[in-house]
Structure 1
């Protein structure tokens, strides 16, 4: 099925940011270069692949001549740069950027294929979150999904903003930028101030 496509550079940028988080996590775990490449790939394309399968279109990276080289280049960057460059919370901030970007891109692509508003938002959340979840599961570290700090909520904000602003008729560039910045800001606030959703606490 052929259909509308998102600007390739935006998809590549989102893929690269998420791929970097996967490659850096594998490097931090002292894995081989092959494993670093694999983590970069599954993290970079995981969410978008699930989105495309649900929309019933070919996975966005299958027919692209750019995605695989970009993922490989990101893996090389993670492999050859000193580990001190990536110390601290840079991995989490890169993940926040990828989360917001992919949530917006996922929603925009779903709407371009005439998916209804609420399902399009859900697909945006899937696009933003699934790659990171796969990365964490493969690495054997606690998934971000299971932590109380805002993560899925930030993806939902970015996805909802994209859908609503687009429906209001705002230019795509403005709608996407505002929505991605909102999602990134919320995730950033959660990282800085440890903003969390209340956990289930009923004992009866």
Structure 2
């Protein structure tokens, strides 16, 4: 006999949980919050997702595959590294300040500090952030290898700067900085890259 079908849309429930975690963080989102956001019972949440932590990890994966994938798309789709970095920052501000959605980056803001029992979540998010940093390093290293920037330019140092700037935009968005104000800072950030651009002799 076939199992009884779920009486809810799992994907929609996941998106609702994602937005709750995105808004309030991992520890700040209680099971009562999830029940309210997802409009299903705690028993259904556990049956469908296993645990709060498993639900959170799946919600982050959904974020990365959709809204939060802006950095990966920019770094892989643009023809030049400068264009890739600028698009990454512009797309970040656009996402982080989108009306009707949580402000800032879910991966940056969800669990910067956790209680000891949730250190595994914090460590896992750190791995996600480090992976983004590594992707920025790879793209800037390619720029050096292909002569877009000077051979003495240090990809790690440049990537450190752009990772820090990107995460700072997330905090500014959460603190209520305007989209216009944050966009205005991007030109200054790009001057760091322009300083190492390899100009034809």
Q: Could you tell me the TM-score, scaled by structure 1's length?
A: 0.37
* Structure number with bigger Rg: 2
